[in-house]
């Protein structure tokens, strides 16, 4: 099974994001960068599927030279090789999906696994755009019935299950009010939710090996894609601050405030 996974470079989810005073972007100084957490879950799921069914995991990232760091991270986890689409300017989801479509057409994977959303843009779009561009089926928000503390999880069982004939995958999805299960014919697009798996740590030998794994360089020009953004971010601002609250000494005071001041109980 050949599995293509994505690895977007994003700000560490623990970092404090501040908007520049002129609203033109966020303050970059002091920020750390990581692989998008949902994408790391995608890499893990790909590795589990490849371990179970044979095959390889190829990782793709789009961005400046810096994204090689995230590609190396995925390679250290166990991906076989990487594709880097070198592009420096702004990109939107349409552009990213169009680039990924070309990479998919070149690589011809059986399955593409992406994160459901990137934690910087929070758009939750690329996987669905890509599936439609390719004319493939999609299963977004992939999860599983077992918890992250289950035996299945400890044994690194892939939650995305290949059907007996090997022609489709069965995916449990997190949706409103419950879990929906779909069967999607391969090739297919899957996007990950948080509870799909707990990604492994890269081992020291893994990190060493990753250094010599190949990274192929492509560009939007080479792929023949016009990536001019069709989403213009005109201005960024900080969300309105909540007015400062108070600490109350005990339950009696709390209930008094909720009853007489906030009038909510």
Partner 1 sequence: MPIVLIVAEQQPDGNLRKASLNAISAGKALADKAGAELHLVLLAKDPAKLAEELKGTGAKAVHTAAAPEFEHYLAETYAPAIAALAQELKADYVGMASTAQGKDLMPRVAARLKAAMATDVMAINGSGADVTFTRPMWAGNVFAEVKLTTPVKVFTVRATEFPAAATGQGAAEVKTFAAKVEASKTKFVDFKEVKSARPELTEARVVVSGGRGTKGDFKEIEALADELGAAVGASRAVCDAGWVPNDLQVGQTGKVVAPQLYIAAGISGAIQHLAGMKSSKTIVAINKDPEAPIFQVADYGLVEDLFKVLPALRQAIHGLK
Ligand X SMILES: Cc1cc2nc3c(=O)[nH]c(=O)nc-3n(C[C@H](O)[C@H](O)[C@H](O)COP(=O)(O)OP(=O)(O)OC[C@H]3O[C@@H](n4cnc5c(N)ncnc54)[C@H](O)[C@@H]3O)c2cc1C
Ligand Y SMILES: Nc1ncnc2c1ncn2[C@@H]1O[C@H](COP(=O)(O)O)[C@@H](O)[C@H]1O
Q: Which of 46, 95, 109, 115 binds ligand Y (CB under 6 A)?
A: 115
**3-22 footprint of ligand Y as x/- string (CB under 6 A):** ---x-x--------------
Closest CA to 77 of 49, 109, 40, 103: 40
- Backbone torsions φ then ψ of 229, nearest 5 degrees: -65, 140
Report the C-alpha gap between 236 and 21 in whole angstroms: 9
Is residue 63 a contact point for ligand Y (CB under 6 A)?
yes
Report the C-alpha gap between 213 and 231 in whole angstroms: 35
H or E stretch covering 181: strand 178-185
Is residue 118 a contact point for ligand Y (CB under 6 A)?
yes
Q: Which of 3, 34, 35, 38 binds ligand Y (CB under 6 A)?
A: 38
In the bound state with partner 1, the residue whose beta carbon lies nearer, of 16 and 108, is: 16
Is the bond leading into 245 cis (omega within 30 degrees of zero)? Answer: no
Report the C-alpha gap between 34 and 209 in whole angstroms: 20
User: Restricting to residues 134-193, which ones interact with partner 1 according to CB under 8 A?
Assistant: 136-141, 143, 145-150, 168, 170, 174-185, 188, 193
Is residue 24 a contact point for partner 1 (CB under 8 A)?
no
C-alpha pair distances (Å), 45 with each of 31, 77, 87: 28, 11, 27
- Name the binder of 211 from partner 1, ligand X, ligand Y, none, CB < 5-8 A by kind: none
Is residue 125 a contact point for ligand Y (CB under 6 A)?
yes
Three-state DSSP at 61 gives strand
- Name the binder of 115 from ligand X, ligand Y, partner 1, none, CB < 5-8 A by kind: ligand Y
List interacting residues with ligand Y (CB under 6 A): 6, 8, 36, 38-39, 60-63, 93, 96, 114-115, 117-118, 121, 123-127
């Amino acid at each position: 099974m050949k599995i293509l996974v994505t690895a977007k470079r994003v700000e560490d989810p623990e970092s404090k994001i501040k908007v520049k005073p002129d609203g033109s972007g966020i303050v970059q100084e002091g920020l750390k960068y990581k692989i998008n957490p949902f994408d790391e879950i995608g890499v893990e799921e790909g590795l589990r599927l490849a371990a179970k069914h044979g095959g390889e995991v190829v990782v793709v990232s789009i961005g400046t030279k810096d994204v090689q760091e995230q590609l190396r991270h995925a390679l250290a986890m166990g991906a076989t090789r990487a594709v880097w689409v070198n592009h420096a300017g702004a990109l939107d989801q349409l552009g990213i999906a169009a680039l990924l479509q070309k990479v998919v057409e070149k690589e011809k994977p059986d399955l593409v696994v992406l994160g459901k959303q990137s934690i910087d843009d929070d758009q939750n779009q690329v996987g669905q755009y890509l599936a439609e561009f390719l004319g493939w089926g999609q299963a977004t928000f992939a999860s599983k019935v077992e918890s992250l503390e289950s035996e299945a999880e400890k044994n690194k069982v892939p939650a995305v299950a290949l059907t007996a004939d090997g022609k489709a995958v069965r995916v449990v999805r997190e949706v409103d009010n419950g879990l929906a299960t779909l069967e999607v014919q391969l090739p297919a697009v899957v996007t990950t939710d948080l509870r799909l798996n707990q990604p492994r740590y890269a081992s020291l030998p893994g990190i060493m090996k990753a250094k010599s794994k190949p990274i192929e360089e492509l560009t939007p020009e080479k792929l023949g894609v016009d990536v001019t953004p069709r989403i213009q971010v005109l201005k960024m601002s900080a969300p309105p601050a909540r007015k400062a609250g108070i600490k109350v000494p005990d339950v009696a005071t709390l209930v008094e405030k909720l009853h007489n001041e906030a009038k909510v109980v």
